[in-house]
């Protein structure tokens, strides 16, 4: 039986008759639910529930499990000779940090000697009332940082999070979550042969460098900003490729960590594997596939020549009638943890 997915409005109304369902969740992205189903314009409850441009609060559940808490953003009604349908897209409450700026009546967001959680509490808490969760210690305080009036709030926080080794995501209850990469060594599944689905790889050679140098900004009273160079031990070519990156307002002691986090993002961007058409939304233990867990996978045709542990970056759940599939986007471990893998999937 396909998973039961329902959308519940704040007033208790529940809508569960959906012909097409597309849900997504990621380690460094916000939850999204896109659903299409029949629409009866004569029903006042449906007209009120899916009123365009009203951003009604909703929750999305998979069975009895809360998947998303947020607001309806997109509403797309359609009618033809056979039926009327409506497409609905809801995003996590935390997603709104990507599309709004700070309210004009608030003072400028300028912070001196505050840590990541303290800054996020002001930016996310005061602007849209988000609860802020941080997976671990916040790290060193920032000497001085400023979010410009017209700056997107998510981008500002994501840049600070990168400097402290975190990524920005959300929880099922819609809260903001700064998370660290999960550990390796406890894969939730082993995928090999059929029915593994379709496995494909995408590489970005333009983002692959032999050396990455992180440089912190120059502070008042100093002649130069701090810097640190990380060598890419997995770089095989005799042709060196150097890259310099700003690591923002970071003290000398944190420049290496910020630089290693930048190296991790490089690793995440240069090699991405996608496993499509898995026939279930759940792993072998019966849990929904989750980002920030790992799997063991062997797929020689996709240049994973030996069993390799990869990190699930994102999961996409699809349902069309009685058919449901899951798609996993995989990256190398360390992509969000500031560590380099010991080997590459195509190593013999």
Domain span at residue 260 reads: 190-331
In the predicted structure, residue 39 carries a pLDDT above the cut 50: yes
pLDDT grade for 225, boundaries at 50, 70 and 90: low
Residue 249 has pLDDT above 70, yes or no: no
The total of structural domains in the chain comes to: 3
Domain CATH for 147: 3.55.50.10
Q: CA dist 256 to 128, 165, 226, Å?
A: 33, 11, 10
> Comparing C-alpha atoms, which of 252, 190, 242, 187 is closest to residue 219?
252
59 compared with 343, residue with greater pLDDT: 59
Q: Which two tokens stand for residue 347?
A: 């190593």
- Are 37 and 153 within one domain? no
- Residue 264's pLDDT is 77
Q: How far apart are CA 176 and CA 125, in angstroms?
A: 9
Residue 173 has pLDDT above 90, yes or no: yes
In-domain check, residue 139: yes
For residues 252 and 175, membership in a common domain is answered with: no
Q: Is residue 241 domain-shared with residue 325, that is, in the same domain?
A: yes
**Predicted pLDDT at 220:** 41
Residues 252 and 292 in one domain: yes
- If you average pLDDT over residues 103-117, what whole number do you get? 85
341: in domain = no
Provide the pLDDT for residue 310. 96
- Which one of 43, 65, 93 terminates a domain? 93
Looking at the fold, whether 155 and 265 belong to one and the same domain comes out as: no
Regarding predicted confidence, which is higher, 45 or 313?
313
Share of the chain above pLDDT 90, in %: 64
Residue 340 pLDDT level (bands cut at 50, 70, 90): confident
Angle between helices 153-163 and 255-270 (to 10 degrees): 110
**C-alpha–C-alpha distance, residues 98 and 30, integer Å:** 10
Do residues 115 and 139 touch, judged by C-beta distance below 8 A? yes
Residue with tokens 């700064």: 178
| Model pLDDT, residue 174 | 97
Domain co-membership, 249 together with 314: yes
Tell whether 214 and 323 lie within a shared domain. Answer: yes
Please tell me whether residues 45 and 154 are part of one structural domain: no
Q: Are residues 203 and 323 in the same domain?
A: yes
* Average pLDDT value over all residues in the chain: 89
Provide the percentage of residues in the chain whose pLDDT is more than 70: 95
Q: Decide if pLDDT at 21 tops 50.
A: yes
Q: Are 67 and 102 in contact (CB under 8 A)?
A: no
Cβ–Cβ under 8 Å, residues 33 and 94: no
235 and 294 in one domain? yes
213 contacts: CB under 8 Å, gap ≥ 6: 227, 228, 229, 230, 242, 243, 244, 245, 259
**Is the pLDDT reported for residue 119 higher than 90?**
yes
259-299 pLDDT per residue, tens: 887 887 788 788 999 999 999 999 999 999 999 999 999 99
Task: Give the pLDDT confidence score for residue 253 in this predicted structure.
Answer: 52
Is 57 in the same domain as 122?
A: no
């Amino acid at each position: 039986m396909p998973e039961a997915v329902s959308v519940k409005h704040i007033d208790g109304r529940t809508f569960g008759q959906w012909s097409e369902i597309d849900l997504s969740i990621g380690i460094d992205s916000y939850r999204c639910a896109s659903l299409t189903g029949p629409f009866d314009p004569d029903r006042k409850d449906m007209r009120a529930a899916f009123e365009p441009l009203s951003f009604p609060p909703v929750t999305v559940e998979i069975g009895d499990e809360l998947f998303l808490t947020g607001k309806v953003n997109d509403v797309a009604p359609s009618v033809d000779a056979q039926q009327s349908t409506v497409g609905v897209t809801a995003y996590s409450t935390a997603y709104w940090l990507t599309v709004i700026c700070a309210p004009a009546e608030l003072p400028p967001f300028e912070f001196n000697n505050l840590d990541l959680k303290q800054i996020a509490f002001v930016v996310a808490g005061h602007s849209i009332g988000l609860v802020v969760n941080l997976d671990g210690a916040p790290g060193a305080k920032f000497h001085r940082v400023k979010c410009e009036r017209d700056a997107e709030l998510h981008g500002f926080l994501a840049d600070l999070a990168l400097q402290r080794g975190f990524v920005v995501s959300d929880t099922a209850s819609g809260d903001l979550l700064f998370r660290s990469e999960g550990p390796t060594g406890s894969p939730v599944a082993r995928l090999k042969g059929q029915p593994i689905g379709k496995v494909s790889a995408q590489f970005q050679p333009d983002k692959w460098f032999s050396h990455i140098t992180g440089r912190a900004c120059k502070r008042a009273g100093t002649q130069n900003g701090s810097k640190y160079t990380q060598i890419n031990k997995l770089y095989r070519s005799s042709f060196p490729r150097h890259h310099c990156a700003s690591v923002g307002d970071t003290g000398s002691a944190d420049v290496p960590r910020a630089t290693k986090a930048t190296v991790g993002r490089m690793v995440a961007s240069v090699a991405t594997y996608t496993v499509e058409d898995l026939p279930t939304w759940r792993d072998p233990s019966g849990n929904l596939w989750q980002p920030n867990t790992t799997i063991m996978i062997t797929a020689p045709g996709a240049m994973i020549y030996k069993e390799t542990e990869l990190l699930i970056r994102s999961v996409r759940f699809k349902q069309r009638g009685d058919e449901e599939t899951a798609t996993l986007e995989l990256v190398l471990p360390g992509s969000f943890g500031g560590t380099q893998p010991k080997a590459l999937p195509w190593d013999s």
